[in-house]
Amino acid sequence: MIPLPAPGARLIDAATGETLTGARLDAALDAVVRALDPIPPGAVVCVLPNELRPVLRYLGVLRAQRPAVVWGAGIGAGSVRDLVDRFAPAAVLGLDALAAPGVAGPAGTGSAAGPPPGYRMVEPAGLGPSWVRRGGPEVPPHDQLGLLLGTSGSTGRPRLVRLSTAGVLANTRSIGTALGIGPDDVAVTTLPLFYSYGLSVLHSHLLAGATVVLDRRGVLDQGFWQDVDRYDVTSLAGVPHTYELLVRKPWSPERHPTVRVLSAAGGRLCTELVTRFSTAMAAHGGRLYVMYGQTEAGPRICVLPPEQLPAKIGSVGPPLPGTRLSIEPDPAGLGDPGSGEVLVHGPGVMLGYAETAEDLGRGDDLGGTLRTGDTGRLDDDGYLWLSGRLGRIGKAFGVRVNLDAVEHLVAEIVPAAAVPAGDRIQIFCEEADRERLAAVVSTVTGRLGLHRLGVLATAIDRLPRRPNGKIDYRSLVE
């Protein structure tokens, strides 16, 4: 069992001010465990917005030693039905979150209203409206399985990352050690909890006996900063786009003096932003932690100690305690000397992927070693310096996107090529006018659920091609 929350930990719902700690928090989680008892064995889907009741349900599932499948409320009921079809969970909790205003869900009309075949709609005390399977799973989940997450927010029909209970606990403890999280810390949810980085913030602070403020608003909302001051928030976590928004706001630490720690992951934070925020935080006795991770690694891999800035700027730091890195050189001899694919070795590495319900019964497929698909090198101090990706994958504000899928989506609009551009996706479009460029951005962001600022479309006379007729992506990147 993952021992969350530790004694002294607090959960605060910023919207209502409701606070749970100690005996009241334990009682709330025990009520969820009791409500789960009559439900057939198997994994439990937890639709998890940044709200108190859904978080209590999720933590109760962990306490009941059920594998938890964490899913986002904004993704919609259709994707939850697909999840049920593919993985046959014992139950789906949080249907009331799917029915929130502006989100298609069970409270709406049409096929989303009723339970899928083989399920019934019930509303046990403490669980809210739920779909519950009528019988047990054909293949019971493996006894090591503790948590299942979508692949780094991948678009389309994501595989699930199978994480062991022991691996999640080991990674959570290592994060707490690397960031120095203690009982006096207060984190606020700046990221979705179904995103592995956001969930790791919840885990690491509750395990340390600290406080987590559950906030639905973003960093550009004035009400969010009122909550930061009201609850004496000490740490903020963000992806690179978060820090771009803070520059736009603009934000400075003296306006919110309780904030002592900033952390950044989910993509490369550019040198300018690292310098800006590390300098600003240091001037007020605070710290900026630059991190690197993957959902498949549990999810954090490296943390750059703040005292190593600016000397190690551009690096993501050494691996977490208990984790080891190695570099597998490119057999073709391409890339910088000493660079190659980054391999992660440690207890946080996933058991493997799941495509179907049968995969939930699998054991450890990887043996504690993850091929990340990222390329980089280790310096003499064991610090990792990333250089790129092996495959055709880009990120839009931390959401991993298949670039070939992007091109397929826009092929009917205009000939195009998609390449990664930092924390955005850059699409070069042949002979496209302004109207077509707008259609490209609208199509990609709408179909893949990406932020509109995470996709850039640019007109180009002709896409560069190699002698074999294929697009020359390297010249586009350059």
The CATH number covering residue 67 comes to 3.40.50.980
List C-alpha distances in Å: 88 to 94, 164, 443.
16, 19, 31
pTM above 0.85, yes or no: no
Contact 225, 213 (CB under 8 A): no
The answer on 261 and 355 residing in a single domain is: yes
Sign of CA dihedral 301, 307, 308, 310: positive
The answer on 68 and 44 residing in a single domain is: yes
**AA identity, residue 203:** H
User: Would you say residue 3 lies in a domain?
Assistant: no
pLDDT, tens digit only, all 478 positions of the chain: 788 999 999 999 999 999 999 999 999 999 999 999 999 999 999 999 999 999 999 999 999 999 999 998 876 667 888 899 999 999 999 998 875 433 334 333 333 468 999 999 999 888 999 999 998 888 899 999 999 998 844 445 678 999 999 999 999 999 999 999 999 999 999 999 999 999 999 999 999 999 999 999 989 999 999 999 999 999 999 988 889 889 988 899 999 999 999 999 987 888 889 999 999 999 999 999 999 999 999 999 999 999 999 999 999 999 999 999 999 987 655 456 788 999 999 999 999 999 999 999 999 999 999 999 888 999 999 999 988 767 677 888 888 787 877 887 888 798 899 999 988 999 999 889 999 999 999 999 998 889 889 999 999 998 887 543 457 888 888 7
The answer on 426 and 357 residing in a single domain is: no
**AA identity, residue 67:** P
Of 340, 358, 389, which residue is a domain's last? 389
User: Would you say residue 350 lies in a domain?
Assistant: yes
Q: Residue 386 and residue 335: Cα distance in Å, rounded? A: 12
The answer on 362 and 313 residing in a single domain is: yes
Q: Residue 233 and residue 46: Cα distance in Å, rounded? A: 26
Q: Residue 50 and residue 212: Cα distance in Å, rounded? A: 11
Residue 424's domain is classified under what CATH number? 3.30.300.30
User: Would you say residue 363 lies in a domain?
Assistant: yes
Of 389, 414, 449, which residue is a domain's last? 389
Question: DSSP secondary structure string, 86-111?
Answer: HH--SEEE-HHHHTSTTS--TTSSGG
Q: Mapped to the 3 state alphabet, what secondary structure does 258-276 carry?
A: CCCEEEECCCCCCHHHHHH
Query: Number of structural domains, the chain?
Result: 3
Contact 44, 63 (CB under 8 A): no
The answer on 330 and 431 residing in a single domain is: no
The answer on 186 and 136 residing in a single domain is: no
Question: DSSP secondary structure string, 267-305?
Answer: SPPPHHHHHHHHHHHHHTT-EEEEEEE-GGGSSEEEEE-
Residue 304 is encoded by which pair of tokens? 């750059």
The contacts of residue 416 (CB under 8 Å, 6+ apart) are: 407, 410, 427, 428, 429, 430, 432, 440, 457, 463
Contact 399, 410 (CB under 8 A): no
Residue 36 main-chain phi, psi, to 5 deg: -80, -20
Residue 442 is encoded by which pair of tokens? 């609208």
Strand-pairing partners, residue 353, are 161
Q: Residue 409 and residue 235: Cα distance in Å, rounded? A: 39
User: Would you say residue 158 lies in a domain?
Assistant: no
The answer on 435 and 380 residing in a single domain is: no
The contacts of residue 248 (CB under 8 Å, 6+ apart) are: 220
Give the domain range for residue 77: 10-141
Of 389, 407, 429, which residue is a domain's last? 389
Q: Residue 249 and residue 281: Cα distance in Å, rounded? A: 17
Angle, alpha carbons 389-391-397 (nearest 5°): 60
The answer on 320 and 210 residing in a single domain is: yes
User: Would you say residue 147 lies in a domain?
Assistant: no
